[in-house]
């Protein structure tokens, strides 16, 4: 498995996504679903009950035996990647890339995997309001269009750019009303909102469920700094990337209390998601992409 640091040194996003996915599935055998669709796979012997129109008469003319054309089934799964592009996603300390950089590459890999499986994929971005809204389609040209948009997002991955706050609650409610066909909605965000807003966020996620969508929430964070507060024992000035507010602290003095409160919040949020049948996965920007890809595949199998 290629590391995020190595992936970041490769060429265009499409190449990076392919490297991530091919590394992930290396050594695994493909398990296709078979049906009758547009992409030919192979033949099999005719069995009583099979539709006569699927018999390959050219093969019969050569062998005088009946064979049925077999095709790979198109699952018609529709997936929308909902990507947080707010200022807090441009944070990094220990990791070689920002949370946004990591999420864009992870999302690109997910879409490459979807396209391999002939699923339709779309892209939605947000910060304090809804941004890009690209409907889900399954063509390769559509995927390249999405990659071009993701490349443009990477060009804005600069903490010094205009500060944009997170308003996922309003955005998710709007998405719930705009997606009219049942879809898998993959939300990638750092959950950087006031704790008081998390009940409202859960309500917005439940709105998606109410509209018959399946939801996977990927919590993107740099675990060592944001969860463990594992900074050197010296004075730091922390700045809120979304508001510019600053706080002067010595991490070692508050680390234990901070870790306990973060763990309490995290457990409560995970439990609430589980009760609402929303898949919650935490992905560390210092880690590899395989756990997130496995979480997606497990969700897809369930669907």
Report pLDDT digits (tens) over 217-232.
999 999 999 999 999 9
Domain boundary among the residues 72, 100, 132 is at: 72
202 and 263 within one domain: yes
Least confident of 30-34, 105-109, 157-161, 276-280: 30-34
- Tally of structural domains, the chain: 2
pLDDT tens per residue, range 280-290: 999 999 998 98
Instruction: Please tell me the predicted confidence (pLDDT) of residue 291.
Output: 85
Q: What is the pTM of this model?
A: 0.80
Distance CA 104, CA 124 (A): 12
Q: In the chain, at which residue ranges do the beta strands (DSSP E only) sit?
A: 34-35, 39-45, 67-72, 78-84, 120-126, 130-137, 184-189, 214-221, 236-239, 246-249, 279-284
80 and 54 within one domain: no
**208: domain range?**
4-26+75-302
CATH of the domain at 237: 3.40.50.410
pLDDT tens per residue, range 23-50: 877 744 444 444 434 344 456 676 776 7
200 and 97 within one domain: yes
82 and 65 within one domain: no
């Amino acid at each position: 498995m290629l590391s995020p640091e190595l992936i970041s040194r490769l060429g265009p996003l499409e190449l990076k996504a392919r490297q991530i996915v091919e590394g992930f599935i290396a050594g695994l055998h493909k398990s296709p679903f078979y049906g009758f669709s547009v992409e030919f796979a192979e033949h099999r012997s005719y069995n009583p009950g099979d539709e006569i129109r699927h018999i390959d008469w050219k093969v019969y003319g050569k062998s005088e035996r009946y064979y049925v054309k077999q095709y790979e089934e198109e699952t018609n799964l529709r997936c929308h990647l909902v990507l947080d592009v707010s200022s807090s996603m441009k944070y990094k300390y220990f990791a070689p890339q920002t949370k946004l950089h990591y999420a864009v590459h992870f999302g690109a890999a997910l879409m490459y995997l979807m396209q391999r499986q002939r699923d339709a994929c779309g892209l939605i971005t947000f910060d304090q309001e809804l941004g890009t809204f690209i409907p889900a389609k399954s063509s390769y040209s559509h995927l390249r269009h999405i990659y071009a948009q993701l490349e443009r997002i990477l060009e804005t991955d600069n903490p010094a750019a205009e500060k944009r706050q997170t308003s996922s609650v309003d955005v998710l409610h709007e998405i719930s009303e705009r997606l009219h066909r049942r879809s898998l909605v993959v939300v990638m965000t750092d959950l950087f909102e006031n704790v008081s807003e998390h009940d409202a966020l859960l309500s917005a996620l439940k709105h998606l469920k109410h509209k018959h969508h399946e939801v996977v929430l990927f919590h993107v964070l740099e675990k060592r700094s944001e969860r463990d507060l594992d900074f050197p024992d010296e004075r730091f000035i922390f700045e809120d990337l979304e508001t510019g507010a600053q706080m002067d602290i010595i991490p070692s003095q508050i680390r234990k209390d901070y870790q306990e409160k973060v763990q309490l919040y995290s457990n409560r949020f995970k439990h609430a998601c589980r009760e609402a049948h929303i898949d919650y996965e935490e992905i560390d920007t210092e880690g590899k992409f395989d756990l997130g890809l496995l979480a997606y595949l497990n969700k897809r199998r369930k669907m």
